[in-house]
Chain A
Amino acid sequence: MIRRIVRFLDQRTGTAPLLKKSLRYLFPDHWSFLLGEVALYCFVLLVLTGIYLTFFFDDSVAQMTYHGSYRPLDGSTVSHAYASVLHISFDVKAGLLIRQTHHWAANVFVAAIVLHVLRVFFTGAFRKPRDLTYLLGLGMLMLALLEGYAGYSLADDLLSGMGLAIGYSVAMSIPFVGANLANLIWDGPFPGSSSFWPRLFIAHVLVLPVLIGGLLAAHLVLVASRHHTQFKRSARESERHVVGIPAFPGQAPRSIGLMLWVFAVLFLLGGLVQINPVWLWGPYHVGDGTNGAQPDWYLGWLIGALRLVPGFDLTIGHYTLVPNPFWGGALFPGVVFGILILWPWLERKVTGDDAFHNLLERPRDNPWRTAIGVAILTWVFLIFVSGSADRVDVLFGIDYATQIWVYRVAIWVVPLIALFVTKRVCDELVAGERRR
Chain B
Amino acid sequence: MRAVVTLATAVAVLLLLPAAAAAKDRRGAALYAANCASCHGLNGQGVPSATPGVNGVDGQGPPLRGVGARAADFYLRTGYMPLANAHDQPSRKHVVFTEPEIRALVRYVASLGTGPPVPTPHPGSVSAGLRLFTDHCAGCHQAVAQGGYVTGARVPPLTDATDRQIAEAVRVGPYLMPRFSTKAITPAQLNDIVAYVGYARHPDDRGGWAIGHLGPWPEGAVTWLLAAAALLGVCTLLGRRLRT
Bound complex: CA of A100 vs CA of B215, how far in Å?
13
Pick the contact of B214 from A279, A292, A295 — CB < 8 Å? A292
Please judge, given known A-B contacts A274-B207, A393-B149, whether A296 and B219 are in contact too, CB under 8 Å.
yes
Tell whether, in the assembled complex, residue A258 and residue B215 are in contact, meaning their CB atoms are under 8 Å apart.
no
Majority secondary structure, A binding face: helix
A294 B217 Cβ-Cβ under 8 A: yes
Which of B148, B207, B241 meets A292, CB within 8 Å? B148
B236 touches A281 (CB 8 A): no
A279-B204, A288-B135, A291-B139 given; A258·B238 CB < 8 A = yes
A141 at interface (Cβ–Cβ under 8 A)?
no
Main secondary structure, interface of B, reads helix
Closest A residue, CB atoms, query B209: A273
Size of the chain B interface, CB-CB below 8 angstroms: 60
Q: Is the CB of B241 within 8 A of A31?
A: yes
Say yes or no: A111-B223 contact (C-beta < 8 A), given A100-B208, A281-B215, A388-B217. yes
A side interface size, CB within 8 A = 69
Q: Is A15 an interface residue (CB 8 A)?
A: no
Q: Which of B118-158 touch A at CB < 8 Å?
A: 126-128, 130-131, 134-135, 138-144, 146-151, 154-155
Q: Which residues of A contact B215 (CB under 8 A)?
A: 159, 276, 281, 292-294
Judge whether B56 is part of the interface by a CB distance below 8 angstroms. no
Closest to B237 in A: A31
Asked if A300 CB lies within 8 Å of chain B CBs, one says: yes
Q: How far is the CB of B201 from chain A (nearest CB, A)?
A: 12
B203 within 8 A of A: yes
B217 near A391 with CB under 8 A, answer yes
Question: What residues of A have a CB within 8 angstroms of the CB of B204 in the complex?
Answer: 70, 72, 277, 279-280
Interchain CB contact under 8 A, A76 and B148? no
Q: How far is the CA of A211 from the CA of B184 in the complex (A)?
A: 52
Alpha-carbon gap, A112 to B230, bound state (A): 12
Contacts of A35 in B (CB 8 A): 235
Contact B149 A297 (CB under 8 A): no
* Cβ–Cβ < 8 Å partners of B175 in chain A: none
Interface status of B55 (Cβ within 8 A of chain A) = no
Chain A positions 76-127 with a Cβ under 8 Å from a chain B Cβ: 76, 89-90, 96, 100, 104, 107-108, 111-112, 115
23 A-B pairs with C-beta separation under 8 A: A31-B238, A31-B241, A32-B239, A34-B238, A71-B126, A72-B199, A111-B228, A159-B216, A233-B243, A254-B239, A262-B231, A265-B227, A269-B226, A274-B205, A274-B209, A277-B213, A280-B213, A281-B143, A290-B138, A292-B142, A294-B216, A297-B224, A394-B149
Besides A31-B236, A89-B206, A280-B203, 7 other CB < 8 A contacts? Answer: A29-B240, A115-B232, A276-B215, A276-B219, A277-B204, A292-B146, A300-B220
